[in-house]
A and B are shown apart, each in its own frame.
Chain A
């Protein structure tokens, strides 16, 4: 158990819908990261927040957005969902802005 929690574990929805994935980092960690893992693209970095501020952006679609709240939990919002958005979404956290990352168990999103 990494100490990072993600909810929900599974999510099934339809094309065109909007969903919110939630992540609670390890106690004391200030950075939160979001990654997407799919069969064709592998594990890809989406975005990093540090103490509420966006720090780095990867291959995140404009339909996706994220934020980190004052209590340091983070949410990833996915809108206008397409079939190709079906994937595992992982959250990770680290103590500081840099350093080793600890991954949560992931949320499996299925878009039908």
Chain B
């Protein structure tokens, strides 16, 4: 059974600061996805990465996929209060249906 560990579990920062959160897997990812979930809502897909070493940018968010495809990081530049939420990494496994295996998440709070 694949285990995804995310760190840190909680992060509280001031507006304008930079931050990095991490996701590590016990086995190679099929496809890695990052989601953001706000209170009272479902997760929203931010990015999908497939190739080892891949880097994707989404405005102030930079996603890196490790060369061995077992780890990933999400870096946010100049965080804003709107970035507050639960950040989840997930493995999308197409081998048996299309199931997502999620990490425990990093809960981010950005204070104005």
Chain A positions within 8 Å of B, measured between CB atoms, are 2, 4, 31, 33, 35, 42-45, 48, 50, 55-56, 58, 90, 92, 94, 97-106
B97 touches A101 (CB 8 A): no
- Say what secondary structure dominates the interface of chain A: strand
In the complex, per-residue mask of B85-108: 1 if CB is within 8 Å of any chain A CB, else 0:
000100000101111111111000
Q: Could you tell me how many residues of chain B have their Cβ less than 8 Å away from some Cβ of chain A?
A: 20
Stretch of B21-29, B37-45, B53-61, B70-78 lying at the A interface: B37-45
Which residues from chain A contact B40 at a C-beta distance below 8 Å? 105-106
A-B pair number, CB within 8 angstroms:
57
Interface check B48, CB cutoff 8 A: yes
Which of these, B97, B101, B102, B104, contacts A97 with CB under 8 Å?
B97
B104 touches A45 (CB 8 A): no
Which of these, A50, A97, A101, A105, contacts B100 with CB under 8 Å?
A101
B98 touches A43 (CB 8 A): no
11 A–B contacts from the bound complex (CB under 8 Å): A2-B42, A31-B98, A33-B98, A35-B100, A43-B105, A48-B97, A56-B96, A99-B98, A101-B100, A106-B40, A106-B41
